[in-house]
Amino acid sequence: MKVCIIGDGIVSLTLAKALTNEGIYVDVYSNKNLKIINKSRTLGISKANVNFYNNNILNIQKLLWKVNKIEIYSENLKKEKILNFENEGKELFSVIKNYDLYNLLEQSLLNNILFKKKKNCKNINPENYKLVINCDIKSFFSKKYFFKKIEKNYNSLAFTSVIEHEKIDNNTAVQVFTKKGPLAFLPISKEKTSVVYSVRKLKEIDLSDELKKYNIKYKIKKINPISSFELKGSNLRTYHYKNILAFGDLLHKLHPLAGQGFNMTIRDINILLNLVKFNLRHGLDINNQICSNFENKNKHKNYLFSHGIDFFYEFFNFESKTKNKILSKSVQIVGKNKYFNKFFTNLADKGLVI
């Protein structure tokens, strides 16, 4: 029993690890033009998804930095918090470096007899595999079968870096909704913090100046090399063609302000893995029926969840363009409600449960 995975990123290797754990042979076709993993990028992973990843894919505990509090600010209210999420000091989510996770996954698969890495995606014959899982947006299969999308251009650039600062008890993530766009501070150690600044209108900025303006807690020693990428959102209209299943960013791309992109993908992997396990337990074949079942279970939830994130972005986008404090004050009042707080904490942790 063999599965093909197209792409050589974190999502592809995570899928490969999950499937080889179930005794399935996996061929991963890598793009020869694949860029080196960016060392300034990080991923936020919810507590529920960390537990799933550790128990079903690979133990990543040693690479994680736990965050037990989230504070949200608006430039309109200066240094006054508008939202605060915490759970009695318990972990809300964890932050991991993309580069570290990729290397750990690659090392775990290196000597696995069920795993092979290959080149030249154009030579793939889907009939030679039970499933073809396409994680590469630029692949031949994406252009041929998965081009119909609901797309949104945020007309923004995301600037990412890692700042080095004086040692602090660094377990609180901070999001500041500025006039230019949302700025996130994601702790990765006592002395380092990842920053993601999504700036509207593709405007070039001096990140050093922006950090001086909006930083409320760090005594910065150094700003490491800065990278940037365009921000676009999308939802794929059709998840599969015969036994070829679209996956990862090809299915859904989100604005990074809530850190939910990779979390949605982990939940997708959870659903797909359960479908595969069910068939294996009952002696059933792994075929295009799994693709259909996956789409039926996930498509509506992914669509609603991604549009909820987009609404959250547009709300604060509108608010940040005005000098009026009414919206921020309203959110601040609602955010003090313990039921509201608990609902959004669970939503961020476990996703949309329908």
CATH number at residue 326: 3.50.50.60
pLDDT of res. 9: 93
Question: Distance between CA 237 and CA 234 in Å, rounded?
Answer: 9
Task: Output b/e per residue, 215-226; b: 16+ Cβ within 10 A.
Answer: beebeeeeeeeb
Q: What is the CA radius of gyration of the chain?
A: 21
The ranges of the chain with pLDDT < 70 are: 31-36, 78-79, 202-203, 320-329, 331-335, 340, 352-354
pLDDT digits (tens, 9 = 90+) for 216-245: 889 999 999 998 889 999 999 999 999 999
Number of domains forming the structure of the chain: 1
DSSP string, 74-141: EGGGTT-EEEEEESTT---EEEEEHHHHHHHHHHHHHT-TTEEEE--GGG--GGGSSEEEE--TTSHH
Structural domain for 43, as ranges? 2-350
pLDDT of res. 326: 65
Sheet holding 93-97, edge to edge: 42-46, 93-97, 65-67
pLDDT of res. 309: 87
